[in-house]
Amino acid sequence: MPFPVALLTDFGDADPYAGQLRGTLAALAPGAPVIDLSHGVEPFNVAQGAFFLAASLEHFPPGTVFLAVVDPGVGGPRRLLALAAAGRTILAPDNGLAGLVLARHPGARVFDLSAHAHGAASHTFHGRDVLAPLAARLARGEAPAALGPALDPAALVRPGWTSPAREATPGGTRILAAVIHVDRFGNCVLNLDARTWGPPLRAAAAIVAQAAGGPARPARAVRAYAELAPGELGLLAGSQGYLELACNQAPAARALAARCAAPLTLTLPGAHP
């Protein structure tokens, strides 16, 4: 049986674009299960798409092929990639969409598929005309290495939001992070992997959060939303494997004036975790 193909796009549901991906896969890889991870990525929001991809990768069966299309530079000089990580394969443009996966899986192997775009039926829909046929080949059992030459992962596009940083200040420590998703509850998911950043932040005596252009707000490290008073801001490890800022029954994004892909700073007065 063919491997599953998971679709992640910013296409929405009103246009035929997502359906055409599914149709192409049905024609070229009949019998392959096709799963809609999401078509609700905000248009052109590569950071949000990268979060959806990294958070979801290991919840799918081994062998799954992820067809990820959030591609503002379609038809331009950006490369097309196949990335083999954690027993799954991701097809995506080289614009940072795979950046959070690379951060979690530094041993991933990467292959350049750009040559397949030459002669594509459309310069504006490489997802359907280039990546979907390649996804069908992978779903039928071809290896990523058969589709293009290997690339050094260090050469891939890595936007600033893929790499949080920590710096000492005269008054303590500052963590330079970014918001990579604001969910429907107003929770702000940060580009801070919970396994790496959670322990030192939980040990901090105080935390002050400030989104770019927004007010500075104290945040308390907690394990669950219910530990917060109504409207109180907290920092916790969310279900998707990343730290998030959340208010109890109120939108943290509004309290912080935060938006997706924007920088956000966590200040830990007097601490050097």
Residues 60 and 183 in one domain: no
Which helix (H) or strand (E) segment is 104 a member of? helix 99-104
- Residue 273: is its pLDDT beyond 60? no
- Residue 11: is its pLDDT beyond 70? yes
Mean pLDDT taken over the chain: 95
Task: Report long-range pairs for 53-59 (Cβ below 8 Å, ≥24 apart).
Answer: 53/8, 53/90, 53/92, 53/97, 53/98, 53/100, 53/101, 54/100, 54/101, 54/103, 54/104, 54/241, 55/240, 55/241, 55/242, 56/6, 56/8, 57/85, 57/86, 57/88, 57/90, 57/101, 58/86, 58/88
pLDDT in tens, 95-145: 999 999 999 999 999 999 999 999 888 999 999 999 999 999 999 999 999
With contact defined as beta carbons under 8 Å apart, do 172 and 265 qualify?
no
Residues spanned by the domain of 36 = 5-155
Q: How confident is the model over 70-84, as a mean pLDDT?
A: 96
As beta bridge partners, residue 179 has 190
82 — pLDDT class (breaks 50, 70, 90)? very high
Residues 185 and 234 in one domain: yes
The enclosing domain of 141 has a CATH number of: 3.40.50.10790
As beta bridge partners, residue 166 has 175
pLDDT in tens, 196-216: 999 999 888 899 999 999 999
With contact defined as beta carbons under 8 Å apart, do 28 and 136 qualify?
yes
Rounded Cα–Cα distance for residues 90 and 200 (Å): 32
Residues 148 and 14 in one domain: yes
170 — pLDDT class (breaks 50, 70, 90)? confident
Residues 27 and 150 in one domain: yes
Residues 105 and 204 in one domain: no
- Residue 234: is its pLDDT beyond 50? yes
Specify the length of the chain in residues.
273
Rounded Cα–Cα distance for residues 18 and 39 (Å): 7
Residues 62 and 82 in one domain: yes
Residues 24 and 98 in one domain: yes
Q: Which two tokens stand for residue 152?
A: 């050094």
Rounded Cα–Cα distance for residues 246 and 253 (Å): 8
Percentage, residues of the chain above pLDDT 90: 93
Q: What is the DSSP string of 181-242?
A: EE-TT--EEEEEEHHHHHHHHHT-S-EEEEETTS--EEEEE-SSGGGSPBT-EEEEE-TTSE
27 — pLDDT class (breaks 50, 70, 90)? very high
Q: How confident is the model over 52-77, as a mean pLDDT?
A: 97
- Which of 103, 138, 155 is where one domain is finished? 155
Residues 49 and 134 in one domain: yes
Residues 209 and 83 in one domain: no
Residues 148 and 130 in one domain: yes
SS3 72: coil
Q: Widest CA span of the chain, in angstroms?
A: 62
**DSSP one-letter code for 47:** H
Please tell me the pTM assigned to this model: 0.94
Number of folded domains that form the chain? 2
Residues 114 and 168 in one domain: no
271 — pLDDT class (breaks 50, 70, 90)? low
φ and ψ at 31, to 5 degrees? 95, -10
Residues 15 and 85 in one domain: yes
φ and ψ at 256, to 5 degrees? -100, -5
- Tokens 């039928």 correspond to what residue? 140
φ and ψ at 77, to 5 degrees? -80, -5
The enclosing domain of 253 has a CATH number of: 2.40.30.90
